[in-house]
Amino acid sequence: MYLVCGEALFDFFSADQAEGPLNQVAFQAIAGGSPFNVALGLRRLGVNSALLAGLSSDYLGQRLRRVLESEGVDTRYLQEFAAPTTLAMVAVGADGSPHYSFRGEGCADRQLLVEHLPLLDEQVRGLHIGSFSLVVQPIADTLLALVRREQGRRLISLDPNVRLNPQPDIQLWRQRIGELVGYADLIKVSDEDLSLLYPGQDVQGLVQGWLQQRCQLVFLTRGSQGATVFSRRHGSWSVPAQAVKVADTVGAGDTFQAALLTWLAEQGMDSPAGLERLSREQIDAQLRFAVGAAALTCSRTGPDLPYRHQL
């Protein structure tokens, strides 16, 4: 089982109302948040998952719990708080890329404290952390404490998934990502993340610095340009994106992340030692599996992650 850690929220997509009254705006609300999506995506791909998160006691928070339960995600690690649910207002660009504006200050998903951290048994094969929960308090320090405690004991994966609206201090992002990289066995990062975190820096040199620490594999997603993998043992190479009619790219990165972990679980390689044993051919298969899964999500509206039988 993977324990995915971080935020759970609702994405609000504005509906096109070109002919409607100006004083009315219609929205479609979809359960989301990057860690929420990864936990759900793992389960849809046939891998047991649990979510460590703060959920609100309000209507939307309880709706998030029901979604997780209906999808088969383990909810034993959820903590309930009398605080609102975070809302993400999503505008989709002409190329399908999402632009977010968050209403999250003081909300439930930020309230997780070190004292809420569970003791983990051997059933938990890995931890995944990512997105703005890495940099908003108090959950940011809680997740840092968790990976410090668990490093080397189980697989740790990291996806920065930079969102400047909930935390605009890019220097804080750089400092925290720099700390967390030292505990991660596998890192997935987008070209957009790198352009925000390290503008103008040589990607190859940056990634090689990561690979000199605990990390064995770094996956770089590049949207319509495909994806690149950097392996400590086998070097780097790229694969093209799969051609699809793009509805939007919401949830594509989370699908890619869930697919990476699913492939490792299916091969019995979901451990730090397992990553070290992977051949170049196996890593290539893992990369192509993740690219295919992400492409399927791009063909759908919102974070509608695929099921295993659809790949």
Tens digits of per-residue pLDDT, 162-181?
999 999 999 999 999 999 99
Residue 263 identity: W
- In this prediction, residues 8-28 reach a mean pLDDT of 78
pLDDT band at 206 (very low <50, low <70, confident <90, very high): very high
Regarding pTM above 0.75, the answer is yes
Q: How many domains does the chain have?
A: 1
Altogether, the residues listed in the chain come to a count of: 311
Beta carbons of 164 and 194 less than 8 angstroms apart? no
User: CA triplet 244, 294, 305: central angle to 5 degrees?
Assistant: 110
pLDDT band at 99 (very low <50, low <70, confident <90, very high): confident
SS3 159: strand
Q: Which domain holds residue 63?
A: 2-310
User: What is the bridge-based pairing of β-strands 126-130 and 2-5?
Assistant: parallel
Beta carbons of 258 and 45 less than 8 angstroms apart? yes
Whether the predicted pLDDT of 18 surpasses 70: no
Enclosing H/E stretch for 71:
helix 59-71
pLDDT at 28: 83
The percent of residues above 90 in pLDDT, for the chain, comes to 83
pLDDT band at 89 (very low <50, low <70, confident <90, very high): confident
Tokens of 179: 């700390």
Tens digits of per-residue pLDDT, 283-296?
999 999 999 999 99
Whether the predicted pLDDT of 258 surpasses 90: yes
pLDDT band at 38 (very low <50, low <70, confident <90, very high): very high
DSSP code of residue 7: -
Helix, strand counts (H, E) of the chain: 9, 14
Enclosing H/E stretch for 281:
helix 280-298
Whether the predicted pLDDT of 42 surpasses 70: yes
pLDDT at 67: 97
Distance CA 236, CA 225 (A): 15
- In this prediction, residues 216-229 reach a mean pLDDT of 96
Nearest of 213, 224, 305, 215 to residue 262 by alpha carbon: 305
pLDDT at 94: 62
Give the CATH number, domain containing residue 150: 3.40.1190.20
Distance CA 34, CA 39 (A): 9
pLDDT at 303: 82
Between helix 34-44 and helix 59-71 the angle, nearest 10°, is 20
Phi-psi region of 143 (alpha: psi -120 to 50; beta: other; left: phi over 0): alpha
Residue 276 identity: E
- In this prediction, residues 29-57 reach a mean pLDDT of 96
Nearest of 286, 282, 310 to residue 296 by alpha carbon: 310
pLDDT band at 130 (very low <50, low <70, confident <90, very high): very high
pLDDT at 29: 87
